[in-house]
Structure 1
Amino acid sequence: MSEHSPLDVPEGDPFGPHNLPYGVFTTASGANPRVGVRYGDSVLDTAAVAAAAGSPHAALLAAPTLAPLMAAGRPVWQAVRAEVTAWLTDPAHRAAAEPHLHRLDGVTLHMPFDVGDYVDFYSSEHHAGNVGRIFRPGEEPLTPNWKHLPIGYHGRAGTVVPSGTPVVRPAGQRKPAADPAAAQPSPARPGPVFGPSVRLDIEAEVGFVVGVPSPMGTPVPRAAFRDHVFGVCLVNDWSARDIQPWEQRPLGPHQAKSFATSIARWITPLDALDAARVAPPERTHPLLPYLDDTGADEESHGYDLRLEVRINGEAVSRPPFATMYWTAAQQLAHMTVNGASVRTGDLYASGTVSGPEPDQVGSLLELTKGEGPWLADGDTVVIDGWAPGPNGTRIALADVAGRVKPNPAG
């Protein structure tokens, strides 16, 4: 046994054998991108070990993206996870696995999958209430439909980028500063101004990555959630709060959100989060049958994920995902109940994660009650998190980071 083997991960390491998230990497040797699994501070070249071991899944793991593995379905996901666990923990595989572990800081991580479609939901009651009070003062914070369906909008897949990608401050139309409450231009209320956003914000979210597709015209029921969703990743859905209120009525946000959405470079498989399953909040309104999770079936649960938001290294909030009113299974069921299909690589995000306390909100909009300060050029935002694992362990969720770049227009 080598004294400092990367296989000897300390007990309790949040990237230990109970986690094993998937990513895509290359080494300095210039070999093609392939699937890797994070283990401690190392990356296991699963393609190399699978080839050496004669694994029937070697071709899936040698692909330059997670898509073939994601499309293979849950029985294959479970079989590959069992193989990887054995390669890393069974002494019989030690000699074969150890040479194919690379230091994390010695590899380059890539976008783990090509995003097919992107849907962003609005599923935190605390966030929706906070935003309603800021954007619609004097009105009911929640819209009449909020407790009856998971509200969402179709985002832009082409600007979903991996963690670490710089984010250029967006430009767009916004209400004139002299009349921030104006809903429409008029002779007394001048028209909009154009320029870089001065109210740049973040949204701390959790993303769900679809593996197995569904045919058009065939809804995916809640009970089939784990048959279709491969895993989760942390998301930062960057937002321009001065562009958003001017454009979002009547159809919702567009340019205020479409300029960048950052995701983590590691995807945590759902099977790693079994110990983190929790009951969702109490349902206060009767739900239609396709959304009803008041029974005791396997998909009547949320996830206890603990997030942390840091700006320039300072922790500003710790949003609790367990408080989300709508679950990922309900979101998938609602997204497809009209017959919309899902494809391998589709991403849907939870919406901003916010809890009931002032230090549990997932956006600067809520943290400052709409007054700012907002993100400045050069600011770096990091969102990370963890979940309870088996036997008192922790499952780390890979962080998602981004740095604000100035708009070239000034």
Structure 2
Amino acid sequence: MTLDHTHDPTARSWLAAANAAGGDFPIQNLPFAVLRRAGSGEPFRGAVAIGDQALDLAALAAAGLVQGAAAEALALAAQPQLNAFMAAGPAAWRALRHALFALLREGAAGEAAVRACLRPLAGVEYALPAQIGDYTDFYTSLDHAVNCMRIMRPDADVPPNFRWLPQAYHGRVSTIGVSGQRFHRPHGQFLPPGASAPVFAPCTAMDYELELALWVGPGNPAGQPIALANAEQHLFGISLLNDWSARDIQMWEMTPLGPFHAKNFATTVSPWIVTLEALAPFRRPWSRDAADVQPLPYLDAPANRAQGAIDIQLEVALLSEAARAQGRAPARLSGTSFRHQYWSVAQMLTHHTAGGCALQPGDLLGSGTISGPGPGEAGALIELARGGQQPVDVGGGERRGFLQDGDTVILRGWCEKPGAARIGFGECRGTVLPAISE
């Protein structure tokens, strides 16, 4: 990842809202989503966020303001799903980024025609940005894994294979929803404390998981692994992801295989996909402590060591039903950074294909819960509340060991540092509804 004029922190847009301090969507970001005007019934189409507006890419394509390779990429990105644009690869992504940057930059010609293609973000509704063929959820935060194991045994450590490979399980696509998703508390089989036999009942230990969604660009043929040095050419971008988890069901069912009912009832992603190119200023060296095991050769490369980590700041907040009724703001629960993740995004993708698995454009990879090493950096309530034993304050005199019906969990993400424009991810919001009566 190299920096160019589109990363210039001094660049400004003719749209004043894009230049506001602390905003998510400056001209240096240009993330992609699929949307339409709320309540319109019109077809969904690709869009790019700029300030407090969405640039309607179908309208922009019809205006004929973009030429050459960028026009070809624009036609793909304007479709109701981004799969074809994701498949087009880095050259097409970069061509369109540069063209949009030129159109939106302060002093650009054709401002009036581009303004006609803007839609206020406050008045749009979103769809999933791509048709997701397959969904894989990883388990790649050492801090999260250790924290969870030590709830049960203070001296516990992760299994040996955790340090040798990015662990994962295959998830369920049919219940993935976009931010704003509302889902019913699931039923499942679990063993109540002190019981000798399981019950089938609504989950009593509902949790969230703070994750990132990694969107696959060009895929690979079956039997042809993607080398680590080339992995990021196959990653289109990143959004936020909440991997809702029914902990009581999970604890009962996941031995000896992985979670099933505990994870397949809902997964929520944020609508805006931030491209890897927009994140280039926030790359960090990826490293392992010298005393720790080092990756096998297929999971190691100089480029990954040099800039495999990404410093994405992340935050979890909770808005209870009572807080909503009383007009209280959401309560911040925790915050951390993705730079702490034990395995990089490139290592996850490479390991996924190492056995011959074919990935397709629009496939979704969850990063696994993101937790950091310090207090208050836990990415799940099971860690913060110590398995429900030490409920946390969520404001207004309310406490939570696990989520209650009516709770809305809000994930936010952004990148920020001196000498670079702030890049935001928007938010990922989901609400737990009561279980459906049997």
- State if a TM-score over 0.5 links the two structures: yes
Q: Where do 1:199-214 residues align within 5 Å? A: 199-214=205-220
Question: Partner of 1:216: helix, strand, or coil?
Answer: coil
Number of residues of Structure 1 aligned to a counterpart in Structure 2: 395
CA distances 1:194-236 after superposition (whole Å, capped 9, x unpaired): 1000100000001100011110000011111221110000000
Q: Distance in 2 between matches of 1:177 and 1:282?
A: 39
- After TM superposition, the score normalised by the length of structure 1 is 0.92
C-alpha contact 2:191 2:198 (8 A) present in aligned 1: yes
Aligned to 2:332: 315
Local SS of the residue matching 1:65: coil
Query: 1:146, 1:59 → 2: CA distance?
Result: 43
Aligned-pair CA distance for 1:299: 6.9
* 2:240–2:428 Cα contact (<8 Å) kept: yes
- What SS is found at the alignment partner of 1:176? coil
Asked if the contact 1:15–1:39 (Cα under 8 Å) also holds between the matched residues in 2, the reply is yes
Identity percentage of aligned residues:
41
Counterpart residue type for residue 392 of structure 1? A
2:243 corresponding residue in structure 1 = 237
Q: Distance in 2 between matches of 1:267 and 1:163?
A: 12
Residue 158 of structure 1 pairs with residue 174 of structure 2: yes
Unaligned runs of 5+ in 1: 180-189
Choose the corresponding residue for 2:267, options 255, 261, 266: 261
- What CA deviation, in whole Å up to 9, does each residue of 1:10-60 have, x standing for no partner? 344331101111011112554321111111111111222233215322421
> What is the identity, as a one-letter code, of the residue corresponding to 2:294?
P
Letter in 1 for 2:90: R
CA distance in 2, matches of 1:361, 1:44: 36
Paired position in structure 2 for 1:16: 26
Deviations 1:139-196 (A, max 9, x none): 63210111110111111111111110102111101112324xxxxxxxxxx2101100
Equivalent pair of 2:336/2:372 in contact (CA under 8 Å):
yes
Which deviates more, 142-151 or 52-61? 52-61
Q: Which residues of 2 match residues 41-190 of structure 1 at below 5 A? A: 41-52=52-63, 53-55=65-67, 56-57=71-72, 58-89=74-105, 90-135=107-152, 137=153, 140-179=156-195, 190=196
Secondary structure of the residue aligned to 1:319 is: strand
Alignment correspondent of 1:34: 45
Residues 362, 138 of structure 1: CA spacing in aligned structure 2 closer, same or farther, 3 A cutoff? Answer: closer
Equivalent position to 2:311, from 300, 304, 315: 304
Q: Which amino acid aligns with 1:31?
A: E
**Is contact 2:141–2:370 with CA below 8 Å preserved after alignment?**
yes
Residues 1:302 and 1:120: Cα distance change in structure 2 (over 3 Å): same
- What SS does structure 2 have at the residue aligned with 1:161? strand
Which position in structure 2 is the counterpart of 1:182? none
What corresponds to 1:286 in structure 2? 294
User: 2: CA distance between counterparts of 1:84 and 1:296?
Assistant: 29
> What are the ranges of 5 or more consecutive residues in structure 2 without an aligned counterpart?
1-13, 320-329, 392-400
Aligned Cα root-mean-square deviation (Å):
1.9
Aligned residue identity for 2:25: F
1:223 counterpart = 2:232? no
Compute the TM-score of the two structures, normalised by the length of structure 2: 0.86
Contact 1:162-1:264 at 8 Å conserved across structures: yes
